Each structure stands twice: as structure tokens, then as C-alpha cells.
A and B are shown apart, each in its own frame.
Chain A
Amino acid sequence: MIANNLPALLVVLPLLGAPLCLLFGRSRLAWLIATLIGWLGLAISVALLLRVRDGSVLHYAFGGWAAPWGIEYVVDPLAAFVLVTVSLIGALVLPYAWRSIEREIEPEQQALFFPLLLLCLAGLLGIVITGDAFNLFVFLEISSLSAYALISLGRDRRALMASYQYLIMGTIGATFLIIGVGLLYSLTGTLNMADIAERILPLTAKNTLRTAYAFITVGLALKLAMFPLHLWLPNAYAYAPSAVSAFLVATATKVALYAMIRFIYSVFGVEFTVAQMHEDWLLIPFAAAGVLIASIVAVFQHDIKRMLAYSSVAQISYMLLGIGMFSVAGLTASLIHFLNHALIKGALFFALGAVFYRIASTDIDAMAGIARQMPWTMAAFVLGGLSLMGVPPTVGFISKWYLILAAIDKGWWLLVMLVLASSLISVIYIWRVIEAAYFKERPAAAPSVREAPLALLIPTWLLVAANLYFGVDAAHTAGLAGEIAVRLMETP
């Protein structure tokens, strides 16, 4: 009974858990419930991944209404892979947050954190698992609305404006998405994604289809912060509480990216997107510009959280590059980076959150000389940073390897140089932090700090360990990503 309903449970559990947590307010119990749900989610995702590991596809008719009338949940290897990534980060953020939000959210608002995070998690998991285009929009808005609220919990008043801006941009993006979905519905008379994919094959010459495609891609590009539609991202991630930044950076933009892959590859099909819409000409230049410009801007940031936010824009552009190559190698690179970037940025934001916990700032000047007092935290930051640069044996290296390999296979040497240049720029911005933390003297006036509490260090180091482990033993992740890429390229 339970085994058959796993896909539904994955979404329903956090959705029900959210109001339950709210009942218990800011208490251990609320935290326990949330954490339990987070870990259950991870367990379910892993179970689902194991079930579809052989390449099969799980269909789950929600409420017993068969597709295409009812809403269908579809778990294929790609969805399972993303589910595991998202719920892994969720499962680690929840234990981390207990101590972290103590310092970063006003006491009277702390009770809101766990319900909102669970809602956001439910929305994100829903986007990934659903096979229905309109349902996808609803889940996207569930996750986005709770993300706006989570960001506005930040103590800095600028968090409010950041959240407001994100709300405006995000809503425009989501509305674009439903316009596109509506147009698709008017063409095909169905909302089931697999169904749409079948029915649009004879319609590819229609202008309505092209319009629908344009609206959907632009809408999703806004949500996933594709350069130059990324303007909401740096402020939002810089002023949000660290636990929120860590969670969103590793999951929210990724899931929008997943939706983009779904639409481009599965719904519209490579044939249409490349031959007719020339999606590669759209993605590659913008992504290339994003890689370079966002990396350069990151170098000049004073606030390290903001710096990492810009770096995320560059990293998302890496994934877009891979998607835009429309080759198995490129997609493989994107998908691997999907997981790897979540691990890298999660570790970095966790480490920064631990720094913030002690010194109440993430400004580079405030971090001067703290490595001596917080050796474990800063060591985690250094390892995460090395992974971001793409130094072996970390996951960042694996990502870079595949991306460069894909570019070389295409013969795009300029792109190879660009990716390498941006890695080198990332060395600069990470090393600024390392030099500040290790070489500068702690100002005499600054209060002396202690190492961060274990409740923060353990999740951080778990992610760091994952960075190293999957950097050495990437056979499984890379193998899975490769298989998924082959499937995606094969779908008509």
C-alpha cells in the first residue's frame, strides 16, 4: 500500500507537515517533525531512484483518475535524479536550520521558518514529479511564494525589497509560463506533458506553437535566473537567512532548470527546439555571457554571500551551456553539474552560515583572520571553494571535465577557453576570502569568536564529504547522468 503510493507521499507529506509545524510554533517538536519529513522525503526519493534505475518509468494516477484526464505523476530516471538532489539538500538544511535561524531570524518570526521551508520543499518536489503542465505551474507557485516569504525573513531590511523584487519577477515568469501552457492547451486539448509531446508533432509549423514555446522558455528563464534575467537573484540570496540561501541556491533555480529541460527536450522535442526555434542560438550566447560576466562581477563583491550568489548565476550558465549544446555529452555535463553544484554551493553557504552565526556578518573585512578561531568552518569553506574552482579530486572537477569534453567534441574552442577563464576567475574570488581569513590579522577591536556549534558543522562537513566522495567515485553519478542524457536525446 505504502510502496505503491510513494510518489504521492513524497509531495503530500511536506504539504501536510507544514500546517502541523505551524501548530507547534517555535518548538523542538516542530523542528523534529520537519526534519523527520525531510529525511523521509530523502528515503522515498532514493527508493524511487532505485526503482527506476533500470530505465523504467513509474506512472502514478493521482486520486485514481487516469491520465490524460487526471493528474499523473511520472517518475523517470531524470525526475528521480532531481528528486534525490532536492530532497538531499532539504534533509540537510532542516537539521542545520535549528541553530542557524537563532541568529538570523527575528524571534517572533522563527516559528514561520519550518512550515515555509516544508511548503517550498513540497512545491519543488511537486514540480519534478508531476507529469501535468498546469500542475507544474501550481507547484512552481507554491514553491515560489514560500521562497519569497522565506527570503523576507532575513533580518536586514533590504531582504524585504529583495523579496519584493523576486516576487514581481517571479510572478511575471510564472504568468508567462501559464500563457504558454494555455496556448499549448488550445492547440492540443491536453495538459498531460507526454500527451502534448505526441500531439504537437504534426503542429510544428504553427505560429501558436512557437509563441507558446517562447512564453514558456522566457518564463522559465526568469525563474532559473538565466543571464540577463538574473537581476533578482543576487539580492535575494544575499539578504536571505543563510539556511534559506543554501536551500534555494541548491534547489529552487535547479528545479526551474529541470522544468526547462523537460519542456525543451521531452515536450517540444529536440527536433522542434533546435531546427525551428534555434534554441541553441538563444542559450549558448546568453549562457556564455553569463558565465563570464557573473564571474567577473563576483570578484568585486564585498559581501561573500552576494559573491557566491553571483557565482551561482555563472554556475547556472554552465548548466545552460550544456543544455544548449544539444548533445549527449553536453546534457551529461549539465546533469552532473546539477547535483554537483547543489553539493558545492550547499557546502559553501553552510560554511558561511556558520561564520555568520559567530560574527553576525559575511563581509570580507569582518572575516579577517577568523580561520584561526574557526578552523573547521573555514576548512570546509576552503574545500568547498576548491570544488567550485574545479580542482581534482572534487565534484567540481568532474563537472568541468564533462563540460569541456562536450565543448571539445563540438569543436567549440572559444567556449572551452571561456569555461577555463571563468574557473580561473573563480580561483580569484575564492582566494580573496581565503587570504582574508587566513592571512589577515583579526582586528584588535573585534570580539574573539569560537568555533561554530556542531549542529552547524556536521551538516556542513557532510556536504564537504559528499563533494570529495563523488569527486573520487563519480562512476555512479556520471553513469546515471549519461544514461539520462541518452534517453533525453532519443525522445522524439
Chain B
Amino acid sequence: MALLVYYNYYVVFFLMMAGFYMVIARGNLIKKIVGLNIFQNSVFLLYISMGKVSGGTAPILLAEGGHYSNPLPHVLILTAIVVGIATTALGLALVVRIKEAYGSVEEDEIYAQDKDA
């Protein structure tokens, strides 16, 4: 049972490795970016689940005070999501330009073209 208490970490690390694997193993540039997103999102989960206090509510100022989750990770992750979106946008924009320049989004085809040139 003690191991199950940390189930959130298992989820996080499963997602992390799945995303990481996609980045490394896939030759398609868009799939790589999808993988990168999953990888990043797993980290967001890590932060959020870390800040959760059992029984706590959302950190809203209530008259009677009481239990609330740590709000700082939420704020950090809001920032990190913005960074993640910017990265994804830039990555996809690059893929668009790569497609224009090479006519392909498959890594091996692109490298083959450069080798011939």
C-alpha cells in the first residue's frame, strides 16, 4: 500500500518516459513535437500534484480560513505552460518552414536530401 501512496509519481514518470521516447524514436517532426508536449505536461502534473494538500480546497480567501492547497506551484505552472506553448508554436512554425523548404516532415528524407545536395 505504501507504494501506492505515490501513484501520482508513477503517472508522471510514465508520461515523461512516453513523451521522451516519442521525441527520440519518431522520425516525423510533428510527432516529435507532440512527444515533447507530453514530456513537458508530465512535469506540470508533477508540480501540481506536489502542491496538493489532502483535503485542501482551492486557495481562495474564505471567511472561515481553513485548509487550502499550495498555490505557488499553480502559478509556476501557469508560467511554464506559457513557455511550453511558445516552444510548441515555434517548433510547429519551424516544421512549416521545413516542409516548405524540403517538401517533407520526415527526418530521414530531409537528411537524405541534404546529403545529395
Question: Is the Cβ of A148 less than 8 Å from the Cβ of B114?
Answer: no
Q: Is the C-beta of B14 less than 8 angstroms from some C-beta in chain A?
A: no
* Given known A-B contacts A145-B90, A148-B94, A160-B94, A179 and B110 have beta carbons under 8 A apart: no
Q: Is the C-beta of B79 less than 8 angstroms from some C-beta in chain A?
A: yes
Knowing that A157-B98, A175-B40 touch, tell me 14 more A-B residue pairs with CB under 8 angstroms: A134-B76, A141-B83, A141-B86, A141-B87, A145-B86, A152-B97, A160-B97, A164-B29, A164-B91, A164-B95, A167-B90, A167-B94, A178-B43, A185-B72
Chain A, residue nearest B46 (CB): A182
Q: Could you say which of B23, B36, B43, B90 contacts A179, with CB atoms under 8 Å apart?
A: B43
> How far, in Å, is A186 (CB) from chain B's closest CB?
5
Chain B, residue nearest A215 (CB): B43
Report B100-113 CB contacts with A as 1/0, cut-off 8 Å: 01100000001100
> How far, in Å, is A187 (CB) from chain B's closest CB?
10
Question: Is the Cβ of A161 less than 8 Å from the Cβ of B98?
Answer: yes
Question: Is the Cβ of B90 less than 8 Å from the Cβ of A161?
Answer: no
Question: Is the Cβ of B39 less than 8 Å from the Cβ of A175?
Answer: yes
C-alpha gap A138/B82 in the complex (Å):
10
Q: Could you say which of B32, B43, B83 contacts A168, with CB atoms under 8 Å apart?
A: B32
Could you give 25 example pairs across A and B, Cβ below 8 Å? A134-B76, A137-B83, A138-B83, A141-B86, A141-B87, A145-B83, A148-B90, A148-B94, A157-B102, A160-B98, A160-B101, A161-B111, A163-B94, A168-B23, A168-B32, A171-B87, A175-B39, A175-B40, A178-B80, A182-B43, A182-B46, A182-B73, A185-B50, A185-B73, A191-B72
> How far, in Å, is B24 (CB) from chain A's closest CB?
9
* Given known A-B contacts A145-B86, A167-B94, A161 and B110 have beta carbons under 8 A apart: yes
C-alpha gap A182/B83 in the complex (Å):
16
> How far, in Å, is A113 (CB) from chain B's closest CB?
16
C-alpha gap A186/B98 in the complex (Å):
41
> How far, in Å, is B55 (CB) from chain A's closest CB?
19
Report A160-184 CB contacts with B as 1/0, cut-off 8 Å: 1101100110011011001100100
Q: Which 4 A-B pairs have the closest CB atoms?
A: A157-B101, A141-B83, A160-B98, A164-B94
Chain A contacts for B87, CB-based, 8 A:
141, 145, 167, 171
Chain B contacts for A157, CB-based, 8 A:
98, 101-102
